[in-house]
Amino acid sequence: MSKKKEFVRDITNIDEDFAKWYTDIVIKAELADYTDVKGFIAIRPYGYAIWENIQNYMDEKFKKCGVKNISMPVLIPESLLNKEKEHVEGFAPEVAWVTIGGGEKLEERLCVRPTSETIFSTMYSKWLNSWRDLPFLYNQWCNVLRWEKETRPFLRSREFLWQEGHTIHETAEEAKQFTMQMLDIYAEVVEDLLAIPVLKGQKTQKEQFAGAEATYTVETLMHDGRALQGATSHYFGQNFTKPFEVTFQNREEKQEYAYQTSWGSSTRLLGAVIMAHGDNRGLKLPPKVAPIQVVIVPIAQNKGNVLEEAQKMKAELSKKFRVELDDRSNYTPGYKFNHWEMKGVPVRIEIGPKDIEKGEVIITRRDTLEKISVKMEELAPKVEKLMQDIQENMYQTCQKRKEEKTTIAKNMEELEKNLNENQGYVKTMWCGSRECEDKVKEVTGAPSRCMPFEQEHLSDTCVCCGKKADKMIVWGRQY
């Protein structure tokens, strides 16, 4: 067992320094690596395979709602970015500018897209004529750049991969409904695929997207009780369609500005998976999103027919699951156990000469580390059942944490105390003023997470100013 201890010692203890533990996992589980340019990461095959699973799941759901994929230019002229006032104020400070192309200084500098509302709006104004053309339900999977000061793999990279959906509609009502429909897909992705329960609600005006009329969010809670914004969906009203002149002839044959939405989710979700589920042995992947669901480790693989049986087992299980057989001859089984635990593979199967004799194998669950002896002929259904159990158990573990770490505060002292002792979500009443929101952030370091859709009446007064309040809000320190 000495090897295992050593290996574990290689990563920082999760409860001692969670931030350092996090970056250790990113590197050790081979999810991503640093590159020569600060804030730009290389997403390695294992990390990218998780992203592909998220993409496939989400893309199918988008398409079922009639969304179509397209591709817009990566560069945006400065004049376009400047068209919507709040938007440019929000994004201009953190863009990267291309100033030279083909050896010549450009007449107008071009920014690498930080998001593409401006360019979608420009093209929509070109493509839209009549109410009969609507809605436009378009999405793109691409890279964007935001020149963050502090960077961290997945969580806050200067470049990240994401999908950005942009739609325009005939009526405000329809656009609002679509905003919520997409938020529901995000909730499904995070809860069903990534096994992380969400808190759904509306962002305050302070925290909403630059240029939006309303921003809706799915919030998640990490191992240490800090929150992470999972994905957001925005309703713009006519904020962009007016300056960009996205008009259509309506049913009364009059010109009208279209109603717009956008919604995005990114490789940040990989950060959420790592931080919501991981432990001191490494990553812990929910079966539904795991690139490798089952790893087979042969014991004494050169003896008798061990390797042959392991190969047969792989062929059999591969019909239903994503399976890897680790038949490397230069590593011990103990090393391999650690390796695949670090990589968070949900189920490990050991097969050796004695197991074959008994017609049994040993299965180890990554989530509980429980070992189970299973008859060979019952293997496939048992693994299938385990996949469901592990997915469910991982969700429930997070759900329990969310419940434990959700508290109520009636005044600033309670709010600060709860956050300091417990992190997590703290529910309070709020008068709705920007002043109080700013003050809470200043005093506690916790921005507002959202005004949950499921409202409760905790008291009659604002947690900060003590004035009359009828809105419940949730606060929490964040990644």
Question: Which parts of this chain interact with a second copy (CB under 8 A)?
Answer: 33, 35-37, 40-45, 48-49, 51-52, 68-77, 80, 93-103, 109-110, 112, 119, 122-123, 126-127, 132, 138, 142-143, 145, 147-149, 158-159, 161, 328, 330
Minimum separation from the CB atom of position 20 to a second copy (A): 20
Find out whether 231 and 265 touch, Cβ atoms under 8 Å.
yes
**Other CB atoms closer than 10 Å to residue 359's CB: what's the count?**
9
Please calculate the CA angle 322-323-326 and round it to the nearest 5 degrees: 150
Closer residue to a second copy, CB minimum distance, 31 or 451: 31
- The smaller minimum CB distance to a second copy, of residues 36 and 454, is found at 36
Q: Measured from the CB of residue 366, what is the shortest distance to a second copy in angstroms?
A: 22
When the beta carbons of 151 and 177 are compared against a second copy, the nearer one is 151
Specify the residue, 269 or 440, whose C-beta has the smaller distance to a second copy.
Answer: 269
Q: Which is nearer to a second copy, 103 or 359 (CB)?
A: 103
Least distance (Å) between residue 70 CB and a second copy: 5
3-state secondary structure of 202: strand
Q: How far is the CB of 63 from a second copy (least distance, A)?
A: 10
- The torsion defined by the Cα of 122, 127, 128 and 130, in degrees rounded to 10, comes to 170
Residue type, position 379, single letter: L
Decide whether 24 or 159 has the Cβ nearer to a second copy. 159
Looking at the Cβ atoms of 344 and 476, the one nearer to a second copy is: 344
C-beta closer to a second copy: residue 70 or 300:
70
Residue/partner pairs of 36-41 with CB below 8 Å, 24 or more apart: 37/158, 38/151, 38/158, 39/147, 39/148, 39/151, 39/157, 39/158, 39/159, 40/157, 40/158, 40/159, 41/153, 41/154, 41/157, 41/159
Q: Which residues contact 63 (CB under 8 A, 6 or more apart)?
A: none
Q: Which two tokens stand for residue 327?
A: 């038949």
- Give the contacts of 107 (CB within 8 A, at least 6 positions apart): none
Nearest to a second copy of 41, 323 (CB atom): 41
Q: How far apart are CA 159 and CA 318, in angstroms?
A: 35
Tell me the residue ranges of DSSP E strands in 391-455. 406-408, 425-430, 448-452
The span from the CA of 266 to the CA of 286, in Å, is: 18
Least distance CB 350 / a second copy (angstroms): 22
CB of 49 to a second copy, least distance (A): 7
Q: Say if residues 172 and 185 touch (Cβ distance below 8 Å).
A: no
* Distance in Å, CB of 271 to a second copy, minimum: 15
Q: How far is the CB of 123 from a second copy (least distance, A)?
A: 5
Smallest distance, a second copy to C-beta of residue 127, A: 7
CB 157 within 8 A of CB 479: no
